[in-house]
Amino acid sequence: MQFIPQKTTLFAASLALLAVSLFSTGCSDAAPEQAEVTKIINATYETRGEITALPDADNPTSSLMIRHEAIPDFVDESGKTVGMDTMVMPFPIAESINLGEFAVGDKVAVTFDVFTESGIRGYAASEMATLPADTELDFSKLERTAGDHAGHDHHGHDHAGHNH
């Protein structure tokens, strides 16, 4: 990636804005332009787990909750591999996932993306599939050595060891 000094970037942006305003047609019928939101996928992870709660239409703050297996290769915001212990975790979901196909207690395979959107790091389940009912899940904690990160943080607190 090429480094461009901030002053040069601001000057180029100012020239571009001036050019757009000079060459705009001034048509009042045109719809106002909306700023495009860029979502950058930083990483994709796959895990397995069990659905502990589904969103409740009567409770807008409820979420899809999945107790998932540990994810040893989880990378934090700084790029360091810290792993993620097994936990019950809320999963925002992609529009392509039909939650009507799932029930509390189902064992599932989940693919989720960690992304940056408008400068904010987030995550969402992008794919989910039911596993056979007799699938054995491993909810043991990650083995860590002294000095390892003890977990990670989604919303200001560590989810390890407690349910939501």
Per-residue pLDDT reduced to its tens digit, 7-30: 444 444 443 433 334 334 444 455
Residue 53 lies inside a defined structural domain of this protein? yes
Across the chain, mean pLDDT equals 78
Is residue 15 assigned to a domain? no
Domain count for the chain: 1
Paired tokens of 8: 């040069």
Residue 136 lies in a domain: no
Q: Is the CB of residue 158 less than 8 Å from the CB of residue 151?
A: yes
Q: Mean pLDDT across the stretch 78-86? A: 96
Residue 16 lies in a domain: no
The CATH number given to whatever domain includes residue 118 is 2.40.50.320
Please determine, for residue 73, whether its predicted confidence score (pLDDT) is greater than 90: yes
The residue that leads in pLDDT, 14 or 144, is 144
**Within a domain: residue 59?**
yes
Mean of pLDDT values over 124-132: 97
Domain presence at residue 9: no
Supply the pLDDT for residue 99: 95
Nearest-angstrom CA–CA distance, 77 and 119: 12
